[in-house]
């Protein structure tokens, strides 16, 4: 049986970490979306909100862009 949800029902395991890192920098979801778009990844403020709340899957390409922006290893977003 395939399992597409985290134990808490969320669709990703990096959303909470992305939220914490974003808030640590003191930037809005809109500002984060804008910064990620500068890397060529088409994410809106609504997509960031859905990722942070666990309502949306995160692709490997998006995960790499978040890691690059926050200057952390991809694994750090998955812990």
Q: What is the pTM of this model?
A: 0.91
- Tokens 């003191």 -> residue: 26
Q: All domains of the chain, ordered by start, with CATH?
A: 15-71 (1.10.260.40)
Distance, in Å, from the CA atom of 25 to the CA atom of 22, rounded to the nearest integer, reads 5
Q: What is the pLDDT of residue 6?
A: 85
Q: What is the pLDDT of residue 27?
A: 98
Distance, in Å, from the CA atom of 75 to the CA atom of 63, rounded to the nearest integer, reads 10
- In 3D space, the residue among 20, 23, 24, 42 whose CA is nearest the CA of residue 33 turns out to be 42
pLDDT digits (tens, 9 = 90+) for 17-64: 999 999 999 999 999 999 999 999 999 999 999 999 999 999 999 999
């Amino acid at each position: 049986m395939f399992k597409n949800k985290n134990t808490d029902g969320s669709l990703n395991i990096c959303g909470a970490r992305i939220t914490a890192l974003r808030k640590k920098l003191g930037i809005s979801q809109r500002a984060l979306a804008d910064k990620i778009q500068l890397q060529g990844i088409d994410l809106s403020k609504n997509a960031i909100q859905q990722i942070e709340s666990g309502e949306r899957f995160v692709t490997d390409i998006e995960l790499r862009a978040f890691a690059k922006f926050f200057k952390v290893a991809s694994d750090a977003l998955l812990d």
